[in-house]
Amino acid sequence: MLKPIRNKEISHLDRACLWLDNPGGGAFLEHEAGKAGQIGINPDIIRPIPSLTARAIQLLQVLGVGLSKIYNDERPHAEKLFYIPGRGFKLPPPKCNMWKVNLCLNSFCEIINTPIDKKGRRWYIRVHEMRKFFLLITHRHYGDGSKELLRYLAGHADRRNIDDYTAYDISDAEAIRYESECIDDKLIALELGVLTKEGNDGLVALHAEALKHFDATSISTISKSEFMKYLDKVGYRSDFDMKTYSIRLENYDAEVYAIDFAIKLGERKDEKYDK
C-alpha cells in the first residue's frame, strides 16, 4: 500500500516527490491533491508513506535520471517519477497515462504471483482498489474515530468527503458504493441459490423486506439505481447493522481470502454476525 492516492495523482508524480530529511524522521510523499482546489487548481500536500515505498521511489528516481540522460530528454515529462520507455525502449511519450502505471502493477502482480482463479485469470490490483480498500477497512476496524486521520491521509479538503468511502451516501464521482453493491450481490446470490437460507437469516429478512417494499417477486427486476437508494436508507436505520469477516474464496485453489458482510435486521441476523 503506497497510501490512499488517486489514479491521476500517482501517474503525475514528480521525480522529486520524496521527502526524507525530516526532523521527526520517516518518509513523506509530496503530490497534487486532486479535487481539493478551485477552478482546476489543486494544492500540493505531503503525507507519510512506508519506508518500503520510499525505497521503491528511490529506485524509480535512479532509473528515471539515467534514462532521461540516455535519451537526452529535456521535456517536462523527463522529470516525472513514472518515466517509462515505449515499446522497444523508444523515447517515453510526453505524458504518463494511467495504463502505463497499470502495466507496472500487472508486472508486479505476476512477479509476486498473485492468485489465479480456476478459469486461469490472475488478480491484478488497481490503484483505486487499494485506496478504497484502505479507507473502508480501516474505518470498519476503528470506527468514526478514525475519520479525521483517514481524511488527512486521503488528502480530502472537505471533511465530508471521507464519508464517500465509509458511508452509504456516495457523492464523490470516483467512489463506489462498495457495501451496498456487496449486499446487492448477496441478495442476488440468495435468489439464484448460490447462497443458502441456512445461516443467512439476516440476509433472508432483508430480501423479504426489499421485495415487499418494491412489490416485486425478484431483486433482479428492480431498477439498480432505485435499489441502491433503498439500501442507502436501510443503512441508516437503527434496526440494521453489518459486520465484516474474512471468507476463503472457493474459485481459487490457493488460500485466498476476501472481506464479506454479515447482516442483522431487527431480531434476525446472519450466523457470522456474532462471530
- What Å distances lie between residue 192 and 197, 214, 260, CA to CA? 11, 19, 18
| pTM exceeds 0.85, yes or no | no
59-103: pLDDT as tens digits: 999 999 999 999 999 998 899 998 888 777 888 887 777 888 888
**pLDDT for the residue 172:** 36
Q: What is the pLDDT of residue 10?
A: 84
Backbone angles phi, psi at 263, to 5 degrees: -110, 140
158 close to 191: Cβ distance less than 8 angstroms: no
- Dihedrals φ, ψ of 48, to 5°? -70, 145
First to last CA, the chain: 28
C-alpha cell at 156: 480530502
The pLDDT value given to residue 207: 95
Residues (pLDDT < 50) of the chain are 1, 162, 165, 168-176
Predicted pLDDT at 65: 94
